[in-house]
Amino acid sequence: MSGLDKYEKITDIGKGSFGCVSKIKRKADGKVLVWKELNYGKMSEKEKQMIVSEVNILRELNHPNIVRYYDRIIDRDQAKIYIVMEYCEGGDIATLIKNYKRKKEHLPEEIVWSVLSQMLQALSSCHNRKEGKILHRDLKPGNIFLDKSNNVKLGDFGLSRVMNQDSVFAYTHVGTPYYMSPEQINDQKYNEKSDIWSTGCIIYEVAALRAPFEATTHYQLAMKIKSGKLDRIPAMYTDDLWRVITSMIQQDPERRPSVDELQNHPQIQVRVKEYK
Ligand SMILES: CN(C)CCCNS(=O)(=O)c1cccc(Nc2nc(OCC3CCCCC3)c3[nH]cnc3n2)c1
């Protein structure tokens, strides 16, 4: 039975920036998973090779706070590759934020620290990878998920490195780059401190229920990001949390703390589960 026949499609979940995401069921044991459909028909040899190497990296990323990779299926007739991954019942953080905003309720500080701690554990396993660090490049609330026990799961790790703007994928949903760091805007080198910036912006948004920098045009957004002007998160949250967030959303990448430094913070350390 071909790879595709091992699964049956349940429903489409949405269109990602570079492919359709569907909820599927593995026939052998009924396990619910998702697959991401990539059309490689119009890809250059170089891009196809990059997909292969990205998928190989995904296969190695085995961490409780990173969406688990299960399988990949190549359908040569349709020139499509399907990447089978863990299904996260809790949906994405973007939706969680939207729901709290609608209810005009703030998330308890406990949850904010827990989301930060779990994101840092995922980033740590990728930044400190012995075979060479992996950077996410496209961290945003829409690709951070929750499983049924509300564990945080980072999605699309690594794939975004292949799907940058100048490739054939050209983001279909040109989302506003709210979480883009100043160095990315200046087209400078992207490094792990850029992932720290984006994580800081996301945690800011989980607390404030709005992004730290908002604008209607990319130009205005870029100006705000580079201005570094930041309204404090709501008064209900402690100065401790506010200090950590502002340390991550700093203009100068050198002055942003590394994952390891952040994980030494008492509020974050207490939550770092030891995964053997
Ligand atoms: C764009 N969002 C605001 C959609 C609104 C509502 N949330 S949601 O994203 O559909 C939703 C609801 C319930 C369960 C899940 N679980 C899930 N989703 C994935 O990707 C979703 C996809 C990401 C790119 C953009 C389109 C959607 C997964 N990838 C790997 N495991 C995944 N598990 C997702």
pLDDT tens profile 29-87: 999 999 999 888 888 888 888 788 778 888 888 999 999 999 999 999 999 999 999 99
* The pLDDT of residue 229 is above 70: yes
Closest CA to 129 of 60, 184, 189, 182: 60
Q: Which secondary structure element, helix H or strand E, spans residue 243, and what is its range?
A: helix 239-248
Best mutation site among 145, 148, 160 for ligand 1, i.e. most ligand atoms within 8 A of its Cβ?
145
Q: CA 214, CA 221: separation in Å to the nearest integer?
A: 6
The DSSP output letter for 92 is B
Give residue 60's pLDDT. 86
In degrees and rounded to multiples of 5, residue 217 shows phi and psi of -115, 155
pLDDT band at 142 (very low <50, low <70, confident <90, very high): very high
- Of ligand 1's atoms, which has the minimum distance to the CA of residue 15? 26
14 lines ligand 1 (CB under 6 A): yes
| Whole-number Å distance between alpha carbons of 136 and 194 | 9
ipTM over 0.85: yes
Which stretches within 74-163 are classed as H helix?
A: 93-103, 109-127, 159-162
Given a cut of 70, whether residue 169 has pLDDT beyond it is: no
Q: pTM score, two decimals?
A: 0.90
- Check residue 106 and report its DSSP letter: P
Sign of the Cα pseudo-torsion (147, 260, 59, 44, in order): positive
| 182-207 per-position pLDDT tens digit | 988 887 778 889 999 999 999 999 99
The set of catalytic residues is: 138
Question: How many whole angstroms from 91 Cα to the centroid of ligand 1?
Answer: 5
Q: Measure Cα distances from 80 to 155, 203, 239 in Å.
A: 20, 35, 49
Residue 175 CB–ligand 1 contact under 6 Å: no
Helix (H, G, I), strand (E, B), or coil: what is residue 139?
Answer: coil
φ and ψ of 37, to 5 deg: -95, 120
* Interatomic CA distance for residues 144 and 202, integer angstroms: 10
> How many C-beta atoms surround the C-beta of residue 72 within 10 A?
20
Q: How many residues does the chain have?
A: 276
What phi, psi does 221 have (nearest 5°)?
-60, -45
